[in-house]
Structure 1
Amino acid sequence: MAAADSASETGLLGFYVAQQNQGILEVSFDPAKAPEDALSIIATTEAGTQPQWLRGYKDKIYAISRTTFPDATSTSGGVFAFQRPSSTEEAWRPLKLLDSKSSHGQGGVHCDVSPDGRTLAATNIEGSTMAIYPLSSDGLIGKPAYKVEYTLKEFGPGAKGSQTESFPHESAFDPSGQFIFIPARGEDRVHVYSVPSADKVRQLEDIVVPPGTGPRHTAFRIVNRTKTFFYLLGELDNTIRVYTIDYIETPNRLTFTLHQTISTLGANLPPSPPDRASLASEMAFTTDGKFAYASNRNTISRGSDTLAIYSINDSDPANHLTYIAREKTLGKIPRHFALSPDEKNKYLCVANEYSNEIVVFERDEHTGLMKEVKGRLSLGEALFKARNGPACILWK
């Protein structure tokens, strides 16, 4: 029996939502029910002002909020550690707050935890800062061991103030847990750090991309012990760039090779001008290595936005991704989406920020396309503005 099917029978299938105007929502999902009844909010947890991102590690959940931590006198964001309920009987209970710290900058937007659970990294977009914290064995957040503020030497070509500051958008550990990647939208570069531990941080050579790329998010897929595919999503030029990383053990450094640049907006399209008419937001890859997805946000229309779908060919890096099709997200501004963690990634859940709703699709594992809507949940009025609706999905 597939993991998702088993979880459905035991009532464990569901996810958490970083809902900016409410907190962290725990949502149950029963795919056997009609779509309008399949999703239910079973618990709500306060998580600072405008929670932006969720990262699970074993029985803990870490979150980051956008601003006003610890109170309205501050413009900094906050980072939070939560304990999940300890048994299925307590599944309806809110998360238990274990610890919280300042994110050390305005606009907390992303956080990540190292694979060994010992280090937390947090990024602040408006403050253009990044902080690295040690984590204790029981999940508590220590004082930051490393902090950096990024500066922009000159404005980039991105429209409407999108490249007037560094605007780092993510702090992501690679699969080895020894390196952190910080895509800076305003700088058109990715800052790379060696981080064997929170108190041993060393900046390596940046990855520089063409002006107007607006790097936003990263993803990784392991090839073998010394090589990994690295993907970089360009928010402003609506692209995915495909690299391989070669790990050189002595000295401790990385080698990056760019193989492909592909549009998120359609087949055989060039990178788009950074006019903010369309903004790529997220990407994800199936566990079987066959398909990739990227979300597109159209800022000049109120019609449904889209998911780009690609097939993957590991044996031909120059044509690693092939654009297959695009599917409607059935909502506006898909800020984030996530594949269910079962072996077949049976479901894909979209957080449509502006239309303020969650949509869950069943995925066809053979074609990569969406089969049907299995759940749909309104989280309130569709206000069509930022910092109101869902910002992140974390499957259980």
Structure 2
Amino acid sequence: MKLKITFIALAFLAPLNLIAQNTYVFLGSFNRDKTAEAIQVYQLDTISGKLTKTASAKNIINPSYLTVSPNGKYVYACTDTKTPNAGSISSFEFNPENKSLTFLNSQRSGGENPVYVTVHKSGKWIVNANYTEGSVSVYPLLENGEIDSIAQNFQYLDGSINKERQTRSHIHSAVFSPQFDYLFLPDLGADKIRCYAFDENQKKPLIETQNPFTKTDLEAGPRHFTFHPNQKFGYCIEEMAGQISVYKYENGSLSKIQRIATHSDKIKEGFESSDIHISPDGKFLYATNRGKENNIAIFSIDENGLLKHIGYQSTLGKHPRIFAIDETGKFLITSNVISGNVVVFKRDFKTGLLKKIAKQVKMENVSCVQIKRI
């Protein structure tokens, strides 16, 4: 009987241990100086929301975007961002036990100003998007986490109608489909969402499709993209127009069903919408506005995928570039570049609204935040 009670107690405590002290927050920075910390890692207290610093890395420049491998062992960064005639992607090994973040290697990004990097679910491939020269690059990943030589690079030259910002292609993100069999590339410069099939078993995994892109509205400036957990809908935030376009999704095909503003009616121009994410339960969508508004627009999501605006939350800083939601959906963390602060919000699961908790973290020119439970 005693053994049975002990087993029940352990079974009850196991889920708590899994989510207790093993969630980490990864921050990048436009540090502009190799002697300054470029990446910082914090442990997230999943009860209080407190962030405790555990590791950092120097000797790289301007990691504008980060991603973490599926197994949590490796961190990949867009480096040498906003550096003339340069651009790279870099790999690091993260060891939570000895609280270390160790540089592994770098590869040329295949284009100037890399701004987004993502890893295939298999952990065998990495893809980065280059903004200035409008290109996408694909690399194999080695078993030790290092990035191998480039396997594919596609560059685009077409632009759109805005003579100041759309003289040529500007790829701003690279997002895998829910089944990881397609890759979508929002192109701010060309007002397109480009698409390739992705075959992880090929030496050149990007494969052209019969429908290589979806046109957006002119001067939309598509930036970031996300899929609904039910895999039926896709959502693209448009930086220049300050809108979100909603699409039905099926087998690599997007069909627009809605377009809705991220900004308030008071703001008529100068939109700088940036990032977009959906809560794990699929009930709420969040989108950040920069520039004249520094806030998070909050939307409810209907069963048909359509959005309904329900409120705004100030990011409590200036220029929110990237934000992230943890895997449980309890926390939303945003990075404010100009004010250099990172703010932890607690999500209300029923209303979707946000409330600041815990103490802010300061990091000069903080560019990116990612959350990973390890």
Question: Partner residue of 1:306?
Answer: 295
Question: Partner residue of 2:371?
Answer: 394
Question: Partner residue of 1:370?
Answer: 354
Give the conservation status (yes or no) of the 8 Å contact 2:134–2:169.
yes
Give the conservation status (yes or no) of the 8 Å contact 2:199–2:207.
no
CA distance in 2, matches of 1:331, 1:3: 38
Aligned partner of residue 100 in structure 1, secondary structure: strand
Question: Measured at CA, do residues 228 and 32 of structure 1 come closer, stay the same or move farther in structure 2, by a change above 3 Å?
Answer: closer
Deviations 1:159-214 (A, max 9, x none): xx322221110111112111111111010001111120351422232110111100
2:82 equivalent to 1:82: no
CA distance in 1, matches of 2:105, 2:150: 14
Question: Partner residue of 2:307?
Answer: 321
Give the conservation status (yes or no) of the 8 Å contact 2:229–2:280.
no
For 2:42, the aligned partner's letter is V
**Percentage of identical aligned residues:** 26
- How many pairs were matched up? 351
Deviations 1:235-266 (A, max 9, x none): 1111111111222xxxxxx3322111111114
Give the conservation status (yes or no) of the 8 Å contact 1:129–1:147.
yes
2:170 equivalent to 1:167: yes
Aligned partner of residue 105 in structure 1, secondary structure: coil
Deviations 1:3-30 (A, max 9, x none): 99756753x3430101221311012334
CA distance in 1, matches of 2:317, 2:245: 26
CA distance in 1, matches of 2:156, 2:59: 26
Aligned partner of residue 144 in structure 1, secondary structure: coil
Structure 1 residue 308: Cα displacement: 0.5
Question: What are the equivalent positions in structure 2 for 1:290-301 lying under 5 Å apart?
Answer: 290-299=283-292
Question: Measured at CA, do residues 167 and 292 of structure 1 come closer, stay the same or move farther in structure 2, by a change above 3 Å?
Answer: same
Give the conservation status (yes or no) of the 8 Å contact 2:229–2:281.
no
CA distance in 1, matches of 2:67, 2:245: 24
Q: Which moved more, 1:199-208 or 1:109-118?
A: 199-208
Give the conservation status (yes or no) of the 8 Å contact 1:115–1:176.
no
Give the conservation status (yes or no) of the 8 Å contact 1:281–1:295.
yes
2:124 equivalent to 1:140: no
For 2:88, the aligned partner's letter is G
Of 23, 36, 60, 1:48 maps to: 60
Deviations 1:128-175 (A, max 9, x none): 22111122333332221111111025x5227xx322221110111112
For 1:108, the aligned partner's letter is P
Deviations 1:322-360 (A, max 9, x none): 100011110011001111122xx1111010011011000
Question: Measured at CA, do residues 23 and 357 of structure 1 come closer, stay the same or move farther in structure 2, by a change above 3 Å?
Answer: same
Question: Partner residue of 1:280?
Answer: 273
Question: Partner residue of 1:189?
Answer: 192
2:246 equivalent to 1:239: no
CA distance in 1, matches of 2:366, 2:74: 24
Question: Measured at CA, do residues 5 and 104 of structure 1 come closer, stay the same or move farther in structure 2, by a change above 3 Å?
Answer: same
Of 259, 263, 282, 1:289 maps to: 282
Instruction: Specify every segment of 5 or more residues in structure 1 that has no aligned partner in the other structure, as ranges.
Output: 248-253, 381-387
Question: What are the equivalent positions in structure 2 for 1:1-396 lying under 5 Å apart?
Answer: 6=17, 9-10=20-21, 12-21=22-31, 22-30=37-45, 38-46=50-58, 48-57=60-69, 58=71, 59-67=73-81, 75-85=85-95, 88-90=96-98, 92-93=99-100, 95-153=101-159, 155-157=160-162, 161-197=164-200, 198-204=203-209, 205-223=212-230, 228-247=232-251, 254-266=252-264, 275=269, 277-299=270-292, 305-314=294-303, 316-317=304-305, 320-342=306-328, 345-380=329-364, 388-396=365-373
Structure 1 residue 2: Cα displacement: 10
Q: CA RMSD in A?
A: 2.6
Q: Which moved more, 1:198-207 or 1:229-238?
A: 198-207
Instruction: Specify every segment of 5 or more residues in structure 2 that has no aligned partner in the other structure, as ranges.
Output: 1-11, 32-36
CA distance in 2, matches of 1:63, 1:2: 36
Deviations 1:258-281 (A, max 9, x none): 111111114xx69x87x5x12110
Question: Measured at CA, do residues 291 and 112 of structure 1 come closer, stay the same or move farther in structure 2, by a change above 3 Å?
Answer: same
Structure 1 residue 222: Cα displacement: 4.4
Instruction: Tell me which stretches of 4 or more aligned residues in structure 1 moved more than 4 Å.
Output: 1-9
Structure 1 residue 77: Cα displacement: 1.2
Structure 1 residue 232: Cα displacement: 1.0
Aligned partner of residue 171 in structure 2, secondary structure: coil
Deviations 1:305-328 (A, max 9, x none): 1101111112x34xx111000111
CA distance in 2, matches of 1:123, 1:47: 22
Give the conservation status (yes or no) of the 8 Å contact 1:334–1:351.
yes
Question: Measured at CA, do residues 239 and 67 of structure 1 come closer, stay the same or move farther in structure 2, by a change above 3 Å?
Answer: closer
Aligned partner of residue 111 in structure 2, secondary structure: strand
